[in-house]
């Protein structure tokens, strides 16, 4: 009789399961049916401090938390700025050297002072946070924090008491002053110092304060002084109000002004970036406590903002959760867009309060296959298309266009294709004694490598054709982008008159350039093979074939490429220190202006020593002079001429090679609403809406267990177990009889 129970249980399983929630759901059952957005992240973000952060994997999170004064309209194209925390767009007034107001159409050279007045919306509140908690006397509750309490905390969310307060102009003033703080590695400090009145002098004054305090501490500690250890145990906070900074002024509680020394219209774009997001002084003082620093609780990991979401959970190497900010003010879904937006249903929720989702859950996924599988199961709401899955996702139509495969179309998945406002490239360290420098031989070395690294082949093999080889550094859709014969890079391409298209120069031409550079056949004057280090953070197994391909391309010239792969953070540190030779890199547009790409080559923006975004550490005085002329010009023929001249210099000097513009192929499930990809904005999580009923129904339908197979397996297992038990019993009986 006992033998029948497993078989009966298996038969029971075979008849059940329809309409039940899937057993393979990776999320808690309590989350089913709730408006939660599910996605993934590939590796831990390094820094959430808005004055420091400048990477896309960090921006994905902090743009939902921090609120700069401006944002981009969600639906409008071309991209248009609008107020976010301000009541209106900043008012700009220009003055000449004598202090007289001058009209906006007067020459830039006559503007000696430009003032932008910013007025805040009243009543905006920060998220709940222990830095705002006060006692009965109105004093900070956790300043100082009890070390025993701090030891039990893993994040600010663990503190028993939290508080909030209103956003004021002082928070923006403090945030801008932080950008000048020498203790903070702000990557755009050098750019802003050219325009914000007195910023350079203010930074120098803070540097003197910092040096004086360190000298004082060293004298007090004597030979035992260790600066790094000392500042961990006793954090050093500079007084940002000690010195004047005329570039940022408080007008009143809800108004401040930015003062520029010349016209710089791009400052409005910067005002839409996290660098200009408000940072409450209470947060910096709270986090600068040794007891919290020992627990790795800091502004670098736990931001404090006014946005629609706050960081409610950060489990390193596992999970990041953004939750709806209960104090978020009323911000309505946009009521205007492009003509096609209404037909696409993108205005259905016009005027409804944001955000629509309750929270966003991001799980760590280091490999593309689990992401793809969970997307197909409905457990991730969106997915990019990895090369390994391209053929499963995309098919060529009879007309030659790319569309979804029948499998994905049957699931009503949507495909969006768009040329990104970004660029991917290989950069040389122009300060390196082997691959750097502007002498002709070094330029020819880089030109030869640029020819050998066949961008067209790379795009086809590793990107499934999802890219456009770049002749210049400015992507499509931004002023300065050009196509055709006059736009080609003549050192890497020739113009084919028959096909009216660029043709990559041959490997033989690359070998000739390499010989002229002093490395015939890849052998230098010391009779040794030329070796170049290729530093990268491509430590995923699926990226190894591309690394090997890059290595093979240079081997054709006789160059040995030494692959040096590390994790993301050590790799970033190596580039910051300028100890790299050749690296894979990329840039996503911060704002739709050519200056945002050309400034990547401006000498004072060097990554090494300056902390800027010029990762090649490129410096050419002629380029720098042209850049300074063109950077704040209005778009027109004169600016276009300067851009062409700069592009020509970059073609010759070749600080970058192998660059291309990616084409995004993104997949979204039908239950995502209000969906319009935005390459510039970034703070778009608040617009997402989830049809939870549709998602639940699809998950049930797509994840039904194969009960009959399971039942059959259980039955076979039960029979095998019964046979084994019966055999064992018989064997023991025989042994007993034998005794």
At 3, is the pLDDT very low, low, confident or very high (cuts 50, 70, 90)? very low
Residue 140 has pLDDT above 50, yes or no: yes
pLDDT tens digit sequence for 440-467: 999 999 999 999 999 999 999 999 889 9
Asked if residues 683 and 64 have their Cβ atoms less than 8 Å apart, the reply is: yes
Structure tokens at 254: 């809800």
How many CA atoms within 13 Å lie on the side-chain side of 410?
7
Asked if residues 256 and 173 have their Cβ atoms less than 8 Å apart, the reply is: yes
- State percent of the chain over pLDDT 70: 92
Give the max Cα distance, the chain.
Answer: 119
Of 21 and 332, the structure prediction assigns the larger pLDDT to: 332
Residue 578 has pLDDT above 80, yes or no: yes
At 10, is the pLDDT very low, low, confident or very high (cuts 50, 70, 90)? very low
Residue 726 has pLDDT above 80, yes or no: no
Pairing status of strand 422-428 against strand 582-588: antiparallel
At 110, is the pLDDT very low, low, confident or very high (cuts 50, 70, 90)? confident
Structure tokens at 668: 């979204």
Which of 42-46, 386-390, 401-405, 647-651 tops mean pLDDT? 647-651
Count of other CB atoms within 10 angstroms of residue 399 = 6
Phi, psi of 119 (to 5 degrees): -120, 125
At 634, is the pLDDT very low, low, confident or very high (cuts 50, 70, 90)? confident
Question: Is the alpha carbon torsion for 238, 242, 243, 246 positive or negative?
Answer: positive
pLDDT recorded at residue 712 = 55
pLDDT recorded at residue 593 = 93
Phi, psi of 625 (to 5 degrees): -65, -45
Q: Which of 320, 319, 323, 317 lies closest to 305 in space, CA to CA?
A: 323
SS3 203: helix
Phi, psi of 690 (to 5 degrees): -115, 125
Compute the distance between CA of residue 74 and CA of residue 56 in angstroms, rounded to an integer.
19
pLDDT recorded at residue 722 = 66
pLDDT tens digit sequence for 501-554: 999 999 999 999 999 999 999 999 999 999 999 999 999 888 999 999 999 999
pLDDT recorded at residue 426 = 98
How does DSSP classify residue 523?
B
Compute the distance between CA of residue 717 and CA of residue 7 in angstroms, rounded to an integer.
9
pLDDT recorded at residue 388 = 83
Region 381-400: mean pLDDT is: 88
- State percent of the chain over pLDDT 90: 80
Phi, psi of 343 (to 5 degrees): -65, -30
How many degrees, rounded to 5, is the angle at CA 680 between CA 676 and CA 685? 55
Of 733 and 265, the structure prediction assigns the larger pLDDT to: 265
pLDDT tens digit sequence for 621-630: 999 999 999 9
Region 126-149: mean pLDDT is: 96
Residue 215 has pLDDT above 50, yes or no: yes
Q: Enter the pTM of the model.
A: 0.83
At 233, is the pLDDT very low, low, confident or very high (cuts 50, 70, 90)? confident
Average model confidence (pLDDT) for the chain?
A: 92
Place of tokens 């078989």: 7
At 317, is the pLDDT very low, low, confident or very high (cuts 50, 70, 90)? confident
Residue 371 host element (H or E)? helix 368-377
Identify the bridge partners of residue 503 per DSSP, sorted by sequence position: 494
Of 735 and 222, the structure prediction assigns the larger pLDDT to: 222
Q: Which of 382, 388, 352 lies closest to 367 in space, CA to CA?
A: 388
Reported residue count of the chain is 739
Compute the distance between CA of residue 438 and CA of residue 444 in angstroms, rounded to an integer.
10
At 646, is the pLDDT very low, low, confident or very high (cuts 50, 70, 90)? very high
Give the distance from CA 36 to its chain's centroid. 22
Asked if residues 249 and 256 have their Cβ atoms less than 8 Å apart, the reply is: yes
Place of tokens 């790299």: 580
Give one DSSP letter per residue of 529-560, joined into a string: B-EEEEEE---SGGGHHHHHHHHHHHHTTTPE
pLDDT recorded at residue 16 = 44
Region 321-333: mean pLDDT is: 97
Q: Which of 447, 403, 402 lies closest to 428 in space, CA to CA?
A: 447
pLDDT recorded at residue 11 = 43
Residue 4 has pLDDT above 60, yes or no: no
Residue 222 has pLDDT above 70, yes or no: yes
pLDDT tens digit sequence for 43-96: 889 899 999 999 888 999 999 999 999 999 999 998 999 999 999 999 899 999
Exposed, middle or buried, 218 (CB in 10 Å: 0-12/13-18/19+)?
A: middle
Compute the distance between CA of residue 678 and CA of residue 665 in angstroms, rounded to an integer.
13
Residue 107 has pLDDT above 70, yes or no: no
At 7, is the pLDDT very low, low, confident or very high (cuts 50, 70, 90)? very low
Asked if residues 654 and 450 have their Cβ atoms less than 8 Å apart, the reply is: yes
Three-state SS string over 450-464 comes to HHHCCHHHHHHHHCC
Compute the distance between CA of residue 247 and CA of residue 264 in angstroms, rounded to an integer.
13
At 13, is the pLDDT very low, low, confident or very high (cuts 50, 70, 90)? very low
pLDDT recorded at residue 541 = 87
Compute the distance between CA of residue 410 and CA of residue 702 in angstroms, rounded to an integer.
11
Region 16-30: mean pLDDT is: 80
Task: Give residues with Cβ within 8 angstroms of 101, minimum separation 6.
Answer: 93, 94, 95
At 723, is the pLDDT very low, low, confident or very high (cuts 50, 70, 90)? low
Residue 661 has pLDDT above 90, yes or no: yes
Compute the distance between CA of residue 76 and CA of residue 678 in angstroms, rounded to an integer.
10
């Amino acid at each position: 009789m006992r033998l029948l129970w497993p078989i009966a249980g298996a038969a029971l399983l075979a008849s059940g399961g329809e309409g039940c929630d899937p057993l393979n759901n990776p999320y808690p059952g309590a989350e089913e049916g709730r408006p939660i957005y599910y996605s993934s992240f590939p590796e831990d973000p390094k820094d959430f401090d808005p004055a420091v952060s400048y990477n896309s994997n960090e921006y994905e999170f902090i743009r939902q938390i921090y609120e700069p004064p401006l944002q981009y309209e969600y639906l409008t194209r071309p991209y248009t700025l609008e107020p976010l925390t301000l009541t209106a767009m900043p008012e700009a007034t220009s003055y000449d050297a004598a202090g007289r107001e001058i009209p906006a159409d007067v020459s830039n050279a006559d503007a000696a002072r430009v003032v932008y007045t910013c007025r805040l919306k009243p009543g905006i509140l920060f998220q709940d946070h222990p830095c705002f908690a006060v006692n009965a006397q109105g004093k900070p509750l956790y300043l100082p924090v009890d070390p025993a309490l701090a030891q039990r905390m893993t994040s600010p969310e663990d503190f028993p008491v939290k508080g909030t307060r209103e956003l004021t102009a002082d928070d923006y003033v403090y945030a801008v002053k932080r950008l000048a703080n020498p203790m903070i590695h702000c990557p755009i400090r050098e750019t802003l110092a050219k325009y914000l009145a007195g910023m350079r002098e203010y930074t120098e004054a803070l540097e003197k304060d910092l040096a004086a305090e360190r000298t004082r501490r060293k004298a007090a500690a004597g030979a035992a002084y260790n600066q790094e250890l000392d500042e961990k145990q006793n954090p050093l906070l500079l007084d940002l109000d000690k010195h004047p900074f005329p570039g940022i002024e408080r007008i009143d509680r809800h108004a401040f002004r930015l003062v520029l020394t010349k016209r710089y219209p791009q400052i409005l774009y910067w005002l839409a970036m996290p660098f200009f997001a408000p940072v409450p002084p209470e947060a910096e003082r709270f986090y600068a406590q040794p007891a919290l620093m020992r627990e790795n609780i800091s502004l670098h990991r736990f931001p404090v903002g006014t946005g629609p979401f706050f960081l409610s959970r950060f489990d390193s190497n596992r999970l990041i959760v953004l939750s709806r900010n209960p104090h978020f003010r009323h911000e309505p879904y946009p009521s205007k867009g492009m003509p096609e937006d209404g037909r696409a249903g993108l205005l259905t929720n016009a005027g409804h309060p944001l955000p629509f989702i309750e929270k966003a859950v991001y799980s760590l996924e280091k490999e593309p296959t689990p992401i793809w599988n969970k997307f197909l199961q409905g457990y991730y709401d969106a997915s990019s298309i990895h090369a390994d899955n391209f053929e499963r996702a995309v098919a060529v139509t009879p007309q030659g266009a790319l569309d979804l495969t029948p499998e994905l179309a049957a699931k009503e998945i949507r495909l969006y294709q768009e040329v990104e406002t970004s660029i991917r490239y290989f950069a040389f360290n122009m300060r390196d004694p082997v691959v750097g420098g502007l002498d002709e031989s070094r330029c020819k070395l880089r030109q030869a490598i640029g020819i050998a690294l066949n961008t067209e082949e790379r795009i086809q093999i590793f990107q499934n054709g999802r890219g456009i080889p770049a002749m210049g550094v400015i992507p499509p859709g931004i002023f300065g982008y050009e196509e055709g014969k006059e736009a080609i890079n003549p050192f890497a391409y020739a113009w084919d008159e028959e096909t009216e298209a660029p043709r990559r120069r041959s490997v033989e031409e690359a070998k000739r350039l390499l010989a002229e550079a002093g490395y015939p056949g890849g052998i230098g004057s010391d009779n040794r093979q030329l070796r170049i280090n290729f530093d990268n953070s491509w430590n995923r197994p699926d990226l190894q074939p591309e690394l090997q391909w890059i290595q093979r391309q240079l081997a054709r010239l006789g160059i040995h490429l030494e692959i040096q792969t590390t994790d993301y953070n050590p790799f970033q540190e190596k580039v910051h220190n300028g100890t790299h030779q050749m690296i894979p890199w990329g840039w996503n547009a911060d704002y739709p202006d050519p200056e945002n790409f050309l400034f990547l080559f401006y000498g004072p923006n060097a990554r090494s020593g300056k902390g800027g975004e010029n990762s090649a550490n490129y410096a050419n005085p002629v380029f720098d002079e042209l850049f300074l002329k063109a950077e704040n010009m209005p778009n027109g023929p004169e600016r276009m001429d300067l851009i062409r001249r700069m592009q020509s210099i970059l073609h010759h000097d070749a600080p970058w090679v192998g660059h291309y513009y990616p084409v995004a192929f993104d997949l979204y499930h039908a239950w995502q609403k209000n969906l319009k990809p935005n390459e510039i904005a970034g703070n778009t999580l608040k617009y997402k809406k989830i049809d939870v009923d549709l998602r639940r129904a699809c998950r049930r339908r797509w994840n039904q267990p194969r009960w009959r197979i399971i039942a059959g397996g259980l039955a076979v297992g039960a029979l095998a177990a019964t046979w084994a038990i019966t055999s064992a019993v018989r064997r023991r009986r025989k042994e007993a009889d034998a005794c």
